[in-house]
Amino acid sequence: MNTDKWAYLDDAMVASSKKTIKELFAEDPERAKKFSLNAAGWFLDYSKNRVDRKAMKALVKLAEASNLKAEIEKMFTGKKINVTEDRAVLHTALRNCDPKARVNVDGKNVMPAVRAVLRQMGDFSDLVRQGKWKGFTGKRIKYIVNIGIGGSDLGPVMANIALTPYAKRYLKFFFVSNVDSTHLAETLKAVKADQTLFIVASKTFTTQETMSNANAAKDWLVKKLGDKKAVAKHFVALSTAAKEVTDFGISPANMFPFWDWVGGRYSLPSAIGLSLMLAIGRNNYARFLRGYWKMDQHFRTAKFERNMPVVMALLGILYSNGYGAETYCCLPYDQYLSRFPAYLQQMDMESNGKSTDKDGNPVEHVTGPIEWGEPGTNGQHSFYQLIHQGTHLIPCDFIGCCKTHNEIGDLHDKLMANLFAQTEALAFGKTADDCRKEGVPENLVPFKTFEGNRPTNTLLCDQLKPETLGALIALYEHKVFTQGVILNIYSFDQWGVQLGKVLAKGVLSDLTAKKPSGKHDASTNQLIARYRKAVGR
């Protein structure tokens, strides 16, 4: 690695801080066109950022000096870039639509297995959707309950909501993730045992929340249907762990496998997408994968200055490491994308929330941003005040679709008008003089002035379709990957979630034991004692 590479960020900052966004637009009437890109059905307008050509050139040099090109190739060709877990990172193989593609891991082409699982999923979803997969009492399946958490939940939930217009409405989908018994209990109240299919989605098949819920659901089903054999008709598993699946009581025939080279938060296009395929059917699911693939190809081949994920990643680095922006806001102006910000949170924060670099040293730069967001226009009436006039710099991605699936009067025009207007207001603000010209009394001028110069990206597609959703997810995956490469951190492990899991086991035994160990800190011991007293132990 070129250790001086961060000097390029300094160069970018020098260029970036010379002019405001307003001044940049004033000096170049072609700016909007020049700072826009197209890829895989998405249009990105990044002209409302604090960058000119010079700044972008310096940022591209930062990417080049980070050996990004070589790192991209390593990922796509199955090199073990997840070093701390000694694994390849091949979610791109899951959506590789080239029938002749070969992708090797440890000298073995993984593509035949990828295609075989897709066929298995397709055949199964045909049976369920056509009512040919019968439950234990001979009834067709109507309710589908995905039990999983993290990457085995957030992607399926997000995509099922996003592609509702393509879904078979007869089937009713539920997603149980939380170990809070309320989540499962309320779901079980809404379904009928003899018409319910439980999908146990867990890469490891050991996750406490998922296995507790899956076991409870199994007990419920067996009790309701009065026979252990019912499990075979009402439970399937999505996992890498064949033995654990069999031990749970699900036959290998009802297991949809994936592999250790698929990270949990990148697993939606693997067997983990079964609930989505059941909803939208295998053909629409193929379109979804094709969208991913298009963006993958763009990322792998486009020059960095025209490469959408790379450009978005570089802008993110500029704001986090140049301007000290701590958070990043995702604002989809499409109700179908309501869970997209939550999905992005895991993708970005579990990937790049690291403080050790690849050499094992403390990082010297700000790593993953705090990712957050809500659908527009709702957010406008809640937290946008802070984005417009607060003291934090919060770069935002606005995401919109030109055509709605639900034309009602002029609602969609209003929605999009709000999106465009927000980016305009954030970039250009309102000066004190503008306020005065409007007759704002002098004592109110400071309060009604908008500084502007607040950066935004706008992403537009024609309509939210399976392929545009796939491409959108891949766009952000590759943005996160690019940032990880530049920051010189490992983006595909997640050791930080382990400690809490281990401690929870010890606390659980203290909550339930005859006598608690008292081995925790004073605060935790006190909380345990209070809980035990409240529940009568």
Which residues of this chain interact with ligand F6P, rule CB under 6 A? 149-152, 202-204, 207, 210, 264-265, 350, 494, 497
The whole-angstrom separation of Cα 437 and Cα 525 is 63
Short-list 67, 473, 513, CA closest to 276? 473
Selected catalytic residue, list 61, 209, 234, 350: 350
- Minimum Å gap between C-beta 515 and ligand F6P is 30
Nearer to ligand F6P, 1 or 497 (CB): 497
Question: What is the distance between the alpha carbons of residues 457 and 21, in angstroms, rounded to a whole number?
Answer: 13
Sheet holding 172-176, edge to edge: 172-176, 143-147, 196-201, 235-239, 255-257
Question: How far apart are CB 167 and ligand F6P at their closest, in Å?
Answer: 23
User: By C-beta, is 116 or 504 nearer to ligand F6P?
Assistant: 504
The residue among 401, 264, 380 whose CA lies nearest residue 329 is 380
The kind and range of the H/E element at 472 are helix 466-487
Which one-letter amino acid corresponds to residue 53?
A: R
Distance in angstroms (rounded) separating the CA atoms of residues 366 and 321: 6
Examine the residue annotation and report whether 414 is marked as an active-site residue of this protein. no
Least Å distance between CB 521 and ligand F6P?
23
Largest CA distance in the chain: 78
Beta strands in 86-152 (DSSP E): 104-105, 108-109, 143-147
Residue with Cβ nearer ligand F6P (35 or 174): 174
Instruction: Compute the least distance from the CB of residue 115 to ligand F6P, in Å.
Output: 23
Distance CA 298, CA 38 (A): 10
- Distance, in Å, from the CA atom of 90 to the CA atom of 270, rounded to the nearest integer, reads 11
Residue 523 C-beta: closest distance to ligand F6P, Å? 24
Cis peptide leading into residue 431 (ω within 30°): no
* Cα 212 to Cα 225: distance, rounded to the nearest angstrom: 20
Query: d(Cα 426, Cα 175) in Å, to the nearest integer?
Result: 37
Cα separation of 495 and 489, whole Å? 13
**Which is closer to ligand F6P, CB of 497 or CB of 508?**
497
What tokens were used for 533?
């007293």
- What DSSP state is assigned to residue 356? B
Sheet order of strands, 456-463 included: 36-39, 42-45, 456-463, 396-403, 327-333, 370-372
* Minimum distance from residue 198 beta carbon to ligand F6P (Å): 15
Q: Which one of 33, 34, 223, 501 is the catalytic residue?
A: 501
Is 52 or 371 the residue whose CB approaches ligand F6P more closely? 371
Q: How far is the CB of 491 from ligand F6P (least distance, A)?
A: 12
| Consecutive H or E run containing 328 | strand 327-333
Which H or E run contains 459?
A: strand 456-463
Pick the closer one to ligand F6P by CB: 203 or 287: 203
Q: In this complex, which beta carbon is closest to ligand F6P, that of residue 45 or of residue 153?
A: 153
Q: Which of 100, 189, 381, 437 is labelled catalytic? A: 381
What gap in Å lies between CA 217 and CA 232, rounded to an integer?
13
CB of 204 to ligand F6P, least distance (A): 3
Is residue 381 annotated as a catalytic residue, yes or no? yes
The catalytic site residues sit at 350, 381, 501
